[in-house]
Structure 1
Amino acid sequence: MSTSAGTSPSTQTSVPQVPEIPAEVRERMLEVYQHLHSHPELSMQEHRTAEFIETQLDRLGIEHVRCGGTGVVGILRNGDGPVVGFRADSDALPIEEESEVPYRSTARGTLPDGTEVPVMHGCGHDTHVTALLTAAEVLAADTARWSGTVVLIFQPGEETGAGAAAMVEDGLWDKAPHPEIVYGQHVMPGLAGTVSLVSGPVMAYADSWKVTLFGEQSHGSQPQDSIDPIVQGAHIITRLQGIVSREVAPLRSAVVTVGTFHAGLKENIIPDRAEFTLNVRTMDDDVREQVLAAIRRIILAEAQASGAPEPQIEELYTFPKNLNDPEATQALTEALHSTLGEENVLETEPKMGSEDFGHLPTALGVPSVFWFYGGFDQQTVDSGTMPVNHSPRFVPVPEPTLWTAARAALTAILSRVGHRP
């Protein structure tokens, strides 16, 4: 969760003169995107991706360091001036791609449990990396326009919530200069060429738990000799649905989803255990605490009601809330109006999706702004079948998606660094 504690440096923001992206850079941008899309890697396994990013930074003469295992931090220094951070995540998902593009992914990967899976950039992180590399190339080639330092954060492991925290724990802000603000962006279903922002809360907390229920195994014909964890689990999962509808105030936001349930090996055996996983989304600290406490209360109470041993609750991961600094968001909105056109800069609503981006600015107590850009042409938008993130068909059109993302990144960075006459 980013914070706006203290005085925001937004008074230093100005509407920048953003240079055009030269034709040869746009050609290279497309090549980079197609390469990344064809060679996706799972979270915290982005070894070839990190090497590719390092090769691109070497080509541009930008110093860089590894951080958080497969994270890469580029440091573009250009004299005295403000320090600005910009983050792009690099990991892909265990999805089999269903698109027909010539650069579609046929990659395979291995999950931590050893399962081999297809891999795809089904959330568009390949466009994030491409846009930031393109912005870095433009900035490196036009140093007479600006002064300061840009910290280019190519972060691994966003999909598992591990990457940003890993970079911070590995000394990100010891290895790189401290920015006065950190920016980030994400491709979403929407019209390519547009961006959308919201001030204040922008993305939700996410908490995921694995719950193991214990019982007493018995023959299916002798239920009196069992403690049935499946029945116990059914009561828990049904009762969990009442938290949002009956415990959370109607004008507050929360989502409780049970995503998996596993128990037993044969239809005539009552098993001795069952396991389910759940995911919780909330926008406010107090609602988060309320919902998580209610979930724990229900799990323990239903186990007791079943005469079962106490369940095991394992916290899998937590994503922080993502908060846009109001002053910095307003300043960036005005700058984007100038570079992209007011009609292409939209106001959006907070999303119940989650991001670990907030760990990066929070570690320094500096403000942040995170926004979205569309990835599909008008025909797809109007079709009613536009792919969503994590779909096997989520493949943004390269243009004007990449151009818009790169221009938005340049706008944000150049609105903060020093300008030279």
Structure 2
Amino acid sequence: MKTLPLAAYGFLGMPLAMVALPVYVQAPAWYAGHLGLALPVTGFVLFAARIFDTVQDPWLGRMIDVMARKTALGLALWLAAIVLALAFTGLWLPPIAGSTPALAGWLALMLALIYSAHSVLNITLLAWGARMTPDLPTLTRAAAWREASGLAGVVLASVLPVWLMTAAPWPPAQSMAVFAGGFALLLIMGLILLLHFAPLWPIRAGVPPARVRASPAVRRLWLPYLVNALSIAIPATLALFFIADRILKPQWAGLFLAVYFLSGAAGLPVWTRLAQRIGPARAWGCSMVLATSTFVWTIFLGAGDVLAYGAVCLLAGLALGADLALPPVLLARAIPPDADPAAHYGVWSLLAKLATAISGLALPLLAWLGYRPGVAGSGGSALGLVYGALPGVLKLLAFAILYFQVIAKEEQPA
């Protein structure tokens, strides 16, 4: 398959990634710090909204399959895109301010709309990629385009809001409005490319979706995917704390994160080719070994180890490319040909968000071990162990599960 249709398919990953990072990282500080909503209220609303976001995904996946069979998927996607663009703009420009129930309600409403619309678009994008072709090289190339676009969106979301707020001559609210406008334009462009220029999603129109029953091949992927996602989510949650209080270089955080994500994008072609040669499961396993053997060295890093930590970000970032691209390909090949894919990816999305929620427990664990944010050396080696060792153990566990449940079964004679 030619490159341009695959690039058209993957482009939507960029605006979807652009909206995710600000909602998770910048929105709490915006409401608690800039708009004056009480911190406990902000935290409760965020927690409730994320639980809602997690549990709704399997249902949304089922709904997408129904809309696809009724040939109404395009309409559903345009409706989701309009809701997402308006809600993302409204998140930064509430009509009220101060620590009031009305502002808390506005935050809850905007988050619910954003999470629902984003999930519809994201699950559809994954399911679309799973059904465009059964050809493994094309599946891996499509996944690489999608995840490379997503990483580009993460970088844009990391840089543009900060740049607009510091360099632009207008107030912060207008800066976020400009960012939201740019996001909306990219979202519209991505949806047009998907619907009109990407490889088609073959749908048996008019046939009611069958009841979703995960095959044994699909179920075998759930646990390694969840454990591996948790091994990624924990260091993502603690990265800024580690850079500030262990490396003692908080001003370098942006550069370290950029190296990590750009390395992930650079590694995508390597993992794609390796997956085509040895299979996506074995290639994913190789990336787990690489990530563990490099990230574990963070346990021994301390103040001023900038170059060493940069090297870890570079190598761990290369492994990230496989974590992003190959698991969806494995799921795509495991879903039976006559099954509806979106419901399966709804469960997949639930597992990823569950890992993110569980990773938040790393913070109270560190507090129990004596770590105090902003106090270098507090908690002894606790920060290094939870940030570096615990994810390594989880990554090795994910590799062991993947090997015995997936790779070993592939090697058995038919």
TM-score between the two structures when normalised by the length of structure 2: 0.27
Structure with greater helix share of residues: 2
TM-score between the two structures when normalised by the length of structure 1: 0.27
